[in-house]
Amino acid sequence: MALDIVRTLRLPDSEFFSGTQRKTGIAIHHTVGGSAEASFRLWRRDQTNGGRPATVGTAYLIDHDGTVFEVFDPAAWAYQFGLRWTPGARLAFERRFIGIEIASEGALIEQDGELYCFDRISPRTRKPRDEAFDAERLYRGYRWFDRYEPAQLASLGTLVDELCRRFPIPRRYPQRPFDYYGDALASFDGVIGHAMVRPDKSDPAPDPRLWQILEERAALQPVPVTPPAHRRGPPALTSGQIETLFAQNLRRIDAMAVAAGSLVKALLMELERRGTYLRLDHPEPGAHAIGYELVQGDRKAVLRLAGALGFRAATASRLEVRHA
Domain span at 19: 5-104+148-223
Among residues 197, 223, 249, the one where a domain terminates is 223
Q: What is the CATH number of the domain that holds 314?
A: 3.30.1380.10
Percentage with pLDDT > 90 across the chain:
62
Residue 72 covered by a domain: yes
* H-type alpha helices, the chain: 36-46, 87-96, 150-166, 208-218, 239-254, 258-273, 299-309
Q: Is 63 helix (H, G, I), strand (E, B) or coil?
A: coil
Give the number of domains in the chain: 3
Q: What is the pLDDT of residue 231?
A: 38
Would you mind telling me the total number of residues written for the chain in this entry? Answer: 324
Rounded CA separation 242/251 (Å): 14
- Residues 298 and 153 reside in one and the same domain: no
Residue 161 covered by a domain: yes
Q: What is the pLDDT of residue 49?
A: 52
- Residues 95 and 189 reside in one and the same domain: yes
Among residues 223, 250, 284, the one where a domain terminates is 223
Q: What is the pLDDT of residue 227?
A: 57
Residue 180 covered by a domain: yes
Per the CB < 8 A criterion, the answer to whether 292 and 316 are in contact is no
Q: Is 12 helix (H, G, I), strand (E, B) or coil?
A: coil
- Residues 292 and 243 reside in one and the same domain: yes
Predicted TM-score of the model (pTM): 0.72
At 259-298, the pLDDT tens digits run 899 999 989 988 887 778 999 999 999 999 999 999 888 8
At 71-106, the pLDDT tens digits run 999 999 999 999 989 999 999 999 999 999 999 999
- Whether pLDDT at 230 is above 50: no
